[in-house]
Amino acid sequence: MSLELPAPVLCLASASPRRRDLLWQIGVPHKAVAADLDERALPGESPHDYVERLALEKAMSVRNRRERLPVLAADTAVVLEGTIYGKPVDRADALAMLGRLSGRVHQVITAVALATERSLEVRLSAASVRLRELTLAEREAYWQTGEPPGKAGGYAIQGFGAVFVESLSGSYTAVVGLPLAETAELLRAAGLAYWQGRGA
């Protein structure tokens, strides 16, 4: 006997299983549609403006495909001394990126946007993360897990990369990729309930 999931009340503009898990965690029935955009920062764009712009563009990109449900989108950037560290392009990039973050505090900034028929709203969340000193052997071994590709900053706090995190100040879910306090605020304002669907 299969359980029937509740009808979706939201469209998540993301292919990220982590963001889907977080939405299920707060009981929001949803479907997912990837937003395929150029994620390069614009010249002179600040990290806050960068994630905010991309979250809004992702939400509107899916909304403009005649999506009838409200569309939720998010974007996350890892920032060290004003430099944005996106997803590593290859092994060498990932090892170098983790080497720069090693033993230092960096910021993780996530924007979440909600596009409905009536409005387009966005919220920002920031956290500070300190990674312990990472040896080259550890970085090499971590690359072999297959986790760094597709992760801003080249690591996943909710995965194998958790062993690198010495301390965290701010929202854990923002570092994972979807700040739940800000997401709930947007949902409430749009009249969308959470805690209603069965968890994953």
Beta bridge partners of 167: 130
Q: 3-class SS at 171?
A: coil
Helices (H), the chain: 17-25, 47-63, 91-101, 136-144, 172-176, 180-189
Q: Any idea what DSSP says for residue 37? A: -
Active site residue 93: no
**Among 131, 111, 130, 127, CA closest to 171:** 127
Q: Which of 21, 75, 90, 93 is catalytic?
A: 75
User: 168: which strand partners?
Assistant: 129
Q: What is the dihedral of CA 78, 79, 84, 87, to 10 degrees?
A: -20
In degrees, rounded to 5, the angle at the alpha carbon of residue 150 between the alpha carbons of residues 56 and 78 is 65
How many Å from the N-terminal Cα to the C-terminal Cα in the chain?
17
Determine the 3-state secondary structure of 157 from DSSP: coil
Catalytic amino acids?
A: 75
